[in-house]
Structure 1
Amino acid sequence: MTDYNQELAEVMANNKNLFASTGATGKAFMGVHDAAVEPGALDSKTKVLEALGIAVAIRCEGCIVQHVKGAIKLGATRDEIVETINIAIMMGGGPSTVYGGKALACADQFLKDQK
């Protein structure tokens, strides 16, 4: 069974190393990220759930772990995550069922850790 806390730590360490090495490019990407998830017409939780759905559909495991954690931090429930995965499956087909399963297992682990 995957330890998603460990996977998240690894992704975060890799991102820290990457962005420390990429200078202006890394800083610009983080600026795009921060601006994109700022509340506007949609709240931040909805935007992070959207990012999670896209991560499942394009099969980015590191993105899935980060966005699941982010969505839960913003108050997303298991049901909201499941509905997000449903949309990703609709858009991404069969492969999204595999990555959707990973996203749900990740969410279940992080939600269990909160208790």
Structure 2
Amino acid sequence: MSEQLKEFPQKIPLLALRGLVLFPNMVLHFDVGRQKSMLALNDVMSKNRKILLVAQKDVRDDEPTAKQLYSVGVVAEVRQIVKSTGSSLRVLVEGLYRARVLNVYQEEPFFKAEIDEMPMARPR
């Protein structure tokens, strides 16, 4: 994969994860059932496949607000989306880099976040 120069801060679609955390270079699959999340995934698949994945603070919230999300997430590349049982989707992603959330915007029909890339910590 060729590295492209990234300009920051950058605005990117956001998907809230319940009970999951993704790290850079990690591959993860999960199910998505919220309409807002499915619309965000459809949007990124028609563009550059990049989405910000952020864990929500309370997994019981069906519609988390910006304040109910953690301030650090991972920008991931969506590798595959498969229709699952019922009205949900199974998503396969690969974590690319950590990002700090500067602002969250409720742009219809899904969240977008202004982010800044966080450098990788070096082992001591």
TM bucket normalised to smaller: under 0.3
Structure with the largest fraction of helix: 1
State TM-score, norm by structure 1: 0.23
Higher relative contact order (CA 8 A, sep 6+): 2
